Amino acid sequence: MKKRRLGNSTLEVSAIGLGCMGMSFSYGTPPDRTEMIGVLRAAVESGITFFDTAEVYGPYKNEELVGEALEPFRGQVAIATKFGFNMKPNGEPGWLGLNSTPQQIRKVADASLRRLRVDSIDLFYQHRVDPAVPIEDVAGAVKDLIQAGKVKHFGLSEAGVSTIRRAHAVQPVTALQSEYSLWTRKPEREVIPTLEELGIGLVPYSPLGKGFLTGKIDENTAFESTDFRNILPRFTPEARKANQALVAVLNGMGVQKQATPAQIALAWLLAQKPWMVPIPGSTKLTRIQENNGAAAIELTPEDLSNIEEAAARVKVEGERYPENIEAMTGL
């Protein structure tokens, strides 16, 4: 697996990371925990050195899973986790609202360190911007944690340009995590140019459109009742049918490159900037290995132009989130 550096930082990770959320949260009934420990360890053997989790995934269960699975590889892998919510009592799913006060950040850091079984958090993201807490206070709190040795790098998630600049002025931001893929391209307008200017890496989450860009989902696909895609406007049967046109673009290039639609979608992202590291999620080792194969695919300028031209003719149907969730983003 090739390596990439996130922006101007010293954080070097595998060109493709692994989003671990689905191993214990959001996509229906969680898989067997022991099986997921095996998958995570096999992912390391396959070349992945960058793993993404958060306290809210479960809550807590995903950090505990990742911590146990990756403990034998301490020092060989980088684990990113996130703060920024008030959790419900007794480990109930969901959250009670945003909370990025310095006191809460310190509390979450200590708890995450225990669950992840590490001495220092490699990358600590603010999960969502908290309008009630000045971003300077957030950056200052993480700066204190870095000076204390509890955190190595500071990150933001779904933050807008103004927030990024203000945070970066207090504590250099190593990476921004935001949704970015062929069907979610809003960051291209202002965010990506700002990241390039400031030397900040981008970690695209949902780079495969929550599974849609793999070509394995159509308008007839039935999700479990607890699968959060059931509430996403972009995943109504009508939207899924309309958005097959984008999968057809990936399929077309895949035939030329002897690659799957998922591999083309990831290769397209990798070709955008050398400081982008997508984190597709999966619970299956075969899919993880398939995704890893994208790092070896070379898309020429002509290939990229052809994809761009074909994708421009496709109007993606449906918003990515319901209004109440979309309102929590700063893009």
Structure token pair of residue 70: 């990756």
For residue 35, give every residue at least 6 positions away whose Cβ sits within 8 Å of its Cβ, in sequence order, or none.
none
3-state DSSP call for residue 226? coil
3-state DSSP call for residue 19? strand
User: Please, which residues bridge with residue 52 across strands?
Assistant: 19, 80
Does the active-site annotation cover 180?
no
- 57 within 8 A of 110, measured Cβ to Cβ: no
- 288 within 8 A of 306, measured Cβ to Cβ: no
Q: Which position among 27, 57, 180, 205 bears the catalytic label?
A: 57
Give dist(CA 148, CA 140) in Å, integer. Answer: 12
User: Please, which residues bridge with residue 201 across strands?
Assistant: 175
Place of tokens 């493709």: 16
Taking the CA atoms of residue 250, residue 251, residue 257 and residue 261 in that order, the dihedral angle to the nearest 10 degrees is: 60
Structure token pair of residue 24: 């214990």
Taking each helix axis from N to C end, the angle separating 301-312 and 261-272, rounded to the nearest 10 degrees, works out to: 110
Residue 98 one-letter amino acid: L
- 99 within 8 A of 82, measured Cβ to Cβ: no
Strand segments, DSSP code E, in the chain are 3-5, 12-14, 18-19, 50-52, 78-83, 85-87, 95-98, 123-126, 154-157, 173-179, 201-205
- 291 within 8 A of 263, measured Cβ to Cβ: yes
- List residues with catalytic annotation: 57
